[in-house]
Every structure is written in structure tokens, then in C-alpha cells.
């Protein structure tokens, strides 16, 4: 009986090896270059060298979005946060809060400083560090407590903090306000929505 099990095990292993070798030899070689050539791209670009590195860094920097683009994302998330909280959809409000905060952090990593109106650098990271532990933290707390009254107050205070940062960076003409209407009609803010399932 054990001899039969041993033979069956060895046969199964041998079959697996033969199958694996057969599949390996049957698959076409150079799939990536073939696909790239079919798409008109040719071979993948070579890795940068020390000589080409400055040019490659400049090319990559050109792909990074501008600060205004990132802040438009923040505006979009922050506006949607307002409407989610108005409908008392606290999980959705938390999502929009996290997205807005994440985009602000992205901007800070990209540009920890910016040129101010007087020509000197403005420490955006320092400003955000203060906001993050005060007015932004108050919004987060209101969401966690599911407190609409506290949320409205903290949200307004956060808008004032945003404006203070805008003024420090020489952009006092960018004056935030409470959202009047949502530009995103695809998001259902109703926490009791039943569709889609």
C-alpha cells in the first residue's frame, strides 16, 4: 500500500515538472518588446545615467501638478465634506476630510515653502503644522462626535485658517466661503440611500 502511494506521489511530481517545463517552452519569448513594438513604442527606455540624470529629474518635475491644481483638489474635497456633514453622513464626511487633509499634505511635501508677497519664503509646512493641530483637528473631532453644530463652527474656523494661510502666501484674493451648491452631483450624500446596491 505505501509503495503505491509513493509511486503515485513521484508520478504526480514528475507530471508537474514536465507540465511546467512544457508551459515555459511553449510561451513566446520577448512578450514585452513585442507588445511595445506593436504599440509603436519600441524597446523600453534605458535607465538614466549620471549624465542624463539632471535632464530626467527636470522631465519628472514637469509632470508634477502645480500647487493650484492640488489646492483645487482640496477645495473639491472640502466642499463635499460640507455637504456630507449637512446630511449627517459621517462616514462620507470622514472620507472627504481624509482626502482633503491628504491633498494638503501632498502640497506640503511638494512645496514646503512658497515665495511670499515680499519676496521672502513663506513656511507653508509650519503654517499647516499649526492648523493641523488646531482648527483642522477640531473638524475631525466634530466628525468623530457626529456633532452637526460643532462641525459647522469648526468648519468655519478652518476656512478662516485657510484664508490666513492664503494671505501669508500673498494670495489674499483667494477668499473661501461656505459652499452654496455642490458641483459634484454624482455623490449621494444621503446616509440612508438604498441604490445602488
CA–CA distance from 95 to each of 15, 100, 140, 163 (Å)?
Answer: 52, 9, 11, 23
Contact predicate 163/173, CB 8 Å = no
Looking at the predicted structure, is the pLDDT value of residue 189 above 90? no
pLDDT digits (tens, 9 = 90+) for 40-65: 566 787 888 898 889 988 988 889 99
What does the pLDDT read at residue 45? 78
Q: Is the peptide bond before 34 cis (omega within 30 degrees of 0)?
A: no
Question: In this prediction, what percent of the chain has a pLDDT beyond 70?
Answer: 77
pTM, entire model: 0.70
What does the pLDDT read at residue 32? 45
Looking at the predicted structure, is the pLDDT value of residue 80 above 90? yes
Structure-derived torsion over alpha carbons of residues 86, 88, 94, 97, reported in degrees to the nearest 10:
10
Higher pLDDT, 181 or 122: 122
pLDDT digits (tens, 9 = 90+) for 100-151: 999 999 999 999 999 998 999 999 999 999 999 999 999 999 999 999 999 9
Question: In this prediction, what percent of the chain has a pLDDT beyond 90?
Answer: 59
Higher pLDDT, 101 or 34: 101
Amino acid at each position: 500500500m505505501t509503495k503505491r502511494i509513493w509511486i503515485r506521489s513521484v508520478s504526480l511530481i514528475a507530471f508537474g515538472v514536465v507540465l511546467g517545463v512544457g508551459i515555459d517552452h511553449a510561451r513566446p519569448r520577448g512578450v514585452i518588446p513585442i507588445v511595445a513594438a506593436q504599440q509603436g513604442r519600441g524597446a523600453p527606455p534605458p535607465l538614466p545615467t549620471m549624465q542624463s540624470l539632471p535632464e530626467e529629474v527636470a522631465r519628472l518635475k514637469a509632470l508634477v501638478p502645480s500647487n493650484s491644481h492640488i489646492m483645487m483638489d482640496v477645495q473639491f474635497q472640502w466642499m463635499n465634506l460640507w455637504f456630507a456633514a449637512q446630511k449627517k453622513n459621517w462616514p462620507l464626511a470622514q472620507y472627504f476630510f481624509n482626502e482633503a487633509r491628504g491633498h494638503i499634505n501632498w502640497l506640503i511635501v511638494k512645496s514646503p515653502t512658497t515665495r511670499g508677497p515680499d519676496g521672502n519664503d513663506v513656511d507653508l509646512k509650519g503654517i499647516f503644522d499649526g492648523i493641523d493641530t488646531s482648527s483642522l483637528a477640531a473638524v475631525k473631532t466634530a466628525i468623530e462626535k457626529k456633532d452637526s453644530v460643532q462641525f459647522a463652527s469648526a468648519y468655519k474656523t478652518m476656512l478662516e485658517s485657510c484664508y490666513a494661510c492664503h494671505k501669508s502666501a500673498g494670495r489674499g484674493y483667494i477668499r473661501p466661503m461656505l459652499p452654496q451648491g455642490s458641483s459634484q452631483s454624482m455623490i449621494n450624500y444621503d446616509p440612508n440611500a438604498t441604490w445602488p446596491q
